[in-house]
Structure formats: structure tokens, C-alpha cells
Amino acid sequence: MGKKRVEYRCVTTSVEGFVQQVAVQYLRHGYWFYVAGQIPEGKDPSAVDAKLIKKYGIDVSRWERARRKQGGLANMQYIRHQRFFLLMASHGKHRFFEEEVDQIRDARRVSILFRGYSLSFRNGRVCVRIEKGELNRIQARLLSVASRHRGEDIGAEFLALPFAPYSPVRQQLLQMWRNVNRVRQQTGCRLVPIECIRWRRQPIRPFEPKPTS
């Protein structure tokens, strides 16, 4: 009898789901080596998924992953959102390290950049932040209107920012909020309330559509 096929879910239905799965499930559990790719227009993403999963033997059981780890072999994960994908590997021996040698990056040294996020593993912890260039663009826009728009409108802009409030993201947003209020205070405007900063992140199911309200 052949090995039983494992249902391997790899296509996320939202940016937030992609980030959560990579950060909480993969980086946190030692999948630090990665190759990022973009599937060209005209290619079937599902066919690319199947090809890569089969090529690197990714769709194996939890038992098989544990056995491979004990034997000094690497395990791999594959994840995609729309046409952006990541191949991720743990420490150990694997053909991935030979075939992708020129493309492999280490998330402990080079952050994964995705839709304005920066994901890395630093000082023994996963770090999810707003990418520096994106952060600077957002702050420049908000500072440019800080003394001209109503506090309620600026607060609404903060709330509408599409970044899940992981701890480093909250710290970035708080610093930006302070900078905006510093400008407003200097010009005699009412301060933007702290309630415009989201504090809690709601875990979601990354491979399932968000429920409609």
C-alpha cells in the first residue's frame, strides 16, 4: 500500500491570514530559511502549487515531519496568497538547499517583505512590523494633514490602516500617533484620541474566507 496522501492547505484567503500563518506557525517553529516568489501572469497558480509541493515532498504527515527532524532532515512548508508565495524550510538536509541555493534567505537576517509587512525572527522571537518604507509613507501622509483635518478623520485613518496589531506594529502606530498629536498640539488642534489605535489582534482561519457580517 502507498502512503496516504495528506491534505495540505497552502492558499490563504487574506493578507492577514498569510501573515498570521507565516509568523505564528512557520517562523515561530523554526522555518527560517525561505525563497519568495511571484507566479507570472498566464501561469496557473494551482499548478505551480502542486508542482512545488510534489517536488519538495511538502505534504507529509505530522508523524513524518517528526521522524525527519529526528533524523537530521529539514522539513518544508509552502504558502501562497494570490500570486505571491513562500517556500520555507527548517534546519537539516534537504534538496531544497541545493536547488535553491542562490535564492534562499534566512529570516533571522533578511526580513520577509509582504504587502507592507516585514516579518523576521530576531533575538529568539518572531517580529511582525510595518516595513520601514511603508511606515514612512504612512507617517508622511498623516503628518501632512495633521493640522488641517479634524481629529475624528485622522483617527478614522489610523483605524483603517490594514495592519494587524502585533506588538511591534502597535509600538510603531503609537509612535506615529504621538508624532501626529505633537503637530496638532503645536497648532492648537484637538488631539487625536488614543482609541484610534487597535490593541487586540483577533486570530483568524488563514485558509478560510472571512465570515461576512
pLDDT of residue 1 exceeding 60:
no
d(CA 105, CA 100): 10
Domain regions of the chain by residue span = 15-129, 132-196
Say which DSSP state 16 is in: H
pLDDT top residue among 4 and 188: 188
153-190 pLDDT, tens digit per residue, is: 999 999 999 999 999 999 999 999 999 999 999 999 99
For the whole model, what pTM was predicted?
Answer: 0.92
For residue 199, what are the CA distances in angstroms to 8, 121, 125, 157, 195?
A: 32, 22, 20, 16, 9
Residue 33 buriedness (CB in 10 A; 0-12 / 13-18 / 19+): buried
Would strands 125-130 and 117-122 be described as parallel, antiparallel, or unpaired? antiparallel
43-93 pLDDT, tens digit per residue, is: 999 999 999 999 999 999 999 999 999 999 999 999 999 999 999 999 999
d(CA 175, CA 156): 17
pLDDT band, residue 209 (cuts 50/70/90):
confident
